[in-house]
Amino acid sequence: MLDILYQDDALIAVNKPANLAVHRSKMVGNAEAFLIDLLREQLGDSMYLAHRLDRATSGVLLAARSKEVAAALGEQFMARAVHKQYLVVVRGWPEPAEGTIDYPLPGSRETGPRHEARTCYRRLATVEVPIALGRYPQQRYALLLAEPETGRFRQIRKHLAHLHHPVIGDCQHGRGDHNRLYKQHFGCHRMLLHAWRLRFAHPVTAAAMEIEAPLDAAFAELLEHFGWSTALPNP
Average pLDDT over residues 169-188: 96
Question: 103-106: long-range contacts (C-beta < 8 A, 24 or more apart)?
Answer: 103/159, 103/162, 105/152, 105/153, 105/155, 105/158, 105/159, 106/153
In Å, the largest CA–CA distance within the chain is 57
* pLDDT for 31 beyond 70: no
Q: What is the mean pLDDT of residues 87-91?
A: 98
Average pLDDT estimate for 175-195: 97
Residues 6+ apart with CB under 8 A from 2: 14, 15, 16, 17, 35, 38, 39, 42
Can you give the pLDDT at residue 25?
60
Positions annotated as catalytic residues are 54
For the entire predicted model, the pTM comes to 0.94
Architecture of the domain whose range is 3-226: 2-Layer Sandwich (3.30)
Sequence ranges of the domains in the chain: 3-226
Average pLDDT of the chain, as a whole number: 94
> Residues 212-233: what's their mean pLDDT?
97
